[in-house]
Amino acid sequence: MKVTKAVIPAAGLGTRVLPATKAMPKEMLPIVDKPAIQYIVEEAVRSGITDILIITNRGKGLIEDHFDRAPELEAKLTGSQKEAMFHSVVDISKLANIYFVRQKETKGLGHAVNCARSFVGNEPFAVLYGDDVIIGEDPACGQLIRAYEEFGQGVLGVKEVTPEAIVKYSSLKVDPIRDNLYQCTDMVEKPSPDKILSLFSILGRCVLPPEIFDILDRTQPGAGGEIQLTDAMCQLARTTGMVAVDFTGKRYDMGNKLGIMQAQVELALKHPEIGGDFKAYLKEIASSL
């Protein structure tokens, strides 16, 4: 079955980026001139997704406004010289069919995904974590969708992380299939050092079958007292199996300060308008460090 629906959970509290995220959702933090969540929606659209549900909560109205029309602003930009600017504003509202639902209590990523049940229905769907921006020629979400279409199992976007980082993420038990594809048969969220299964961790993307919702209904709070998506996916991995894709593309974690600055610097260097000037500036700064 073709994967055309995606869910973007964006209802976290973003405590690691306070005070920036006190009133502003972390998903709206800009990388040069676009908010993080726009990069994520664009990746989904390039992957063949037509319908996107963004999970929000109180105080995330800015996200809804960003994907809406802005008639007053558009009126100001309708003049020949501002054509490009006009399109940069209007085109955002035409990217896909974008829907919103609120997660009424912040009970974890698994709980957030479970809010998508009626939107998803009985179809496979992609999940793109709202604070993980992945930049690459071949969109990461599309790489996972291709694996879903080939194997008919849930798919995880994975990368190897350092031993220091793995204890803060998930850790997967994997066996090679071919190239960058692995069979995943077990996983653990935030493992203690003696429970690490491998340095492969789920980073920001997965494609799930609709059976995940019944599993989520039964999933008890896990690490951090939250309903963990990893715990529900672990059930799938142990029963039907899941496929892990070591995706190509650079991933930026917009949920922590260092990740935000790495995204800013690297994408500013590639930016068509300011890239050259920024590089010269960075070289000057670097020479004095």
Q: How far is the CB of 253 from ligand UTP (least distance, A)?
A: 8
Residue 177: CB minimum distance to ligand UTP, A:
27
Q: Which residue shows structure tokens 């939107």?
A: 119
From 5-13, 28-36, 182-190, 239-247, give the range in contact with ligand UTP by CB under 6 A.
Answer: 5-13
* Cβ-based nearer residue to ligand UTP, 139 or 278: 139
Q: How far is the CB of 164 from ligand UTP (least distance, A)?
A: 17
Least distance (Å) between residue 119 CB and ligand UTP: 14
The stretch among 14-22, 206-214, 260-268, 272-280 that binds ligand UTP (CB under 6 A) is 14-22
The binder of ligand UTP chosen from 7, 92, 109, 147 (CB under 6 A):
109
For residue 109 the two structure tokens come to: 């990523």
Residue ranges in 235-274 that form contacts with ligand UTP under rule CB under 6 A? 255
State the Cα angle at 163 between 158 and 169, rounded to 5°: 50
- 107 binds ligand UTP per the rule CB under 6 A: yes
C-alpha closest to that of 158 among 135, 125, 184: 184
Closest CA to 155 of 119, 118, 182: 182
Largest CA distance in the chain: 63
**String marking each residue 27-56 x if it binds ligand UTP according to CB under 6 A:** ----------------------------x-
- The Cα–Cα gap between 179 and 169 comes to 24
Q: Give Cβ neighbours of residue 192 (< 8 Å, ≥ 6 apart).
A: 167
Angle at 99 between CA 55 and CA 45, to 5 degrees: 95
Q: Which is nearer to ligand UTP, 107 or 146 (CB)?
A: 107
Site for ligand UTP in 141-180 (CB under 6 A): none
> Beta-strand (E) ranges in 146-226?
155-160, 170-178, 181-189, 200-208
Supply 125's token pair: 């769907």
> In this structure, what token pair is assigned to residue 19?
């005070």
Q: Which is nearer to ligand UTP, 54 or 215 (CB)?
A: 54
CB of 104 to ligand UTP, least distance (A): 10
Min dist CB 267 to ligand UTP, Å, is: 19
Structure tokens at 80: 């020949």
**Of residues 52, 77, 72, 76, the one with CA closest to residue 64:** 52
Which of the stretches 69-77, 99-107, 179-187, 240-248 binds ligand UTP when contact is defined by CB under 6 A? 99-107
Summarize as ranges the residues that interact with ligand UTP (CB under 6 A). Answer: 9-16, 55, 103, 106-109, 111-112, 129-131, 255
